[in-house]
Amino acid sequence: MIFNARLAKKGRSWLQGEPLPFVGAPHLDILAIIGLKVETTIGCCEWETAITQPLYIDLFLKFDNTLPSASDSLEDAIDYNTLATQLRIKMQLEKNKLIETVAEKMAAWVLEDKRVKEVKVVVHKRHAVNATEDTYVSITRSHVHHQPAMFDL
């Protein structure tokens, strides 16, 4: 892809004409956890309430990486291994009908860490619809609920 200066001057990015995510916004970085497999009870059908099924979660956390990168200390960083483990444990205890509900709960849990300014959560329920490879819901939540999300991946 080629950078389009004309679009950039108008606050538009060179990727499919999408708005630039940080125009006028403070510098934030992204920590991504892709394909986190969680086993949980999910579904509306009666047979689904008696079993666990895998969901695959993609998380995109917006935060300021300045302190962790300067200190090079795990104490200052978002410990993504601990976060992933905690989310998997919480989901094992859950019983939800909708992946939309799972996405909202995941976002709320991630935002408990005040260093995370915004999170995008994608919840995949593979093969949920016949003759498809994947079905998913994607949400973006932040601490400032009245403002629109800063990015959309």
Q: Has residue 13 got a pLDDT over 60?
A: no
Return the pLDDT at 1.
Answer: 35
Sorting pLDDT into bands at 50, 70 and 90, what band is 22?
very low
Domains of the chain and any CATH numbers = 25-142 (3.30.1130.10)
Return the pLDDT at 26.
Answer: 62
Residues 50, 51, 56, 59, Cα dihedral to 10°: 50
Q: Has residue 16 got a pLDDT over 60?
A: no
DSSP 18: P
CA distances from 86 to 22, 35, 91 (A): 30, 15, 9
The residues assigned a catalytic role are 125
Q: Has residue 149 got a pLDDT over 60?
A: no
59, 121 in Cβ contact below 8 A?
A: yes
Question: Is 0.85 topped by the overall pTM?
Answer: no
108-139: pLDDT as tens digits: 999 999 999 999 999 999 988 888 899 999 99
Return the pLDDT at 81.
Answer: 97
Q: Tell me whether residue 91 is exposed, middle or buried, using C-beta atoms within 10 angstroms of its C-beta: 0 to 12, 13 to 18, 19 or more.
A: buried
The residue-averaged pLDDT of 65-81 equals 94
Name the residue with tokens 């932040």: 142
5, 11 in Cβ contact below 8 A?
A: no
Return the pLDDT at 96.
Answer: 95
Return the pLDDT at 145.
Answer: 57
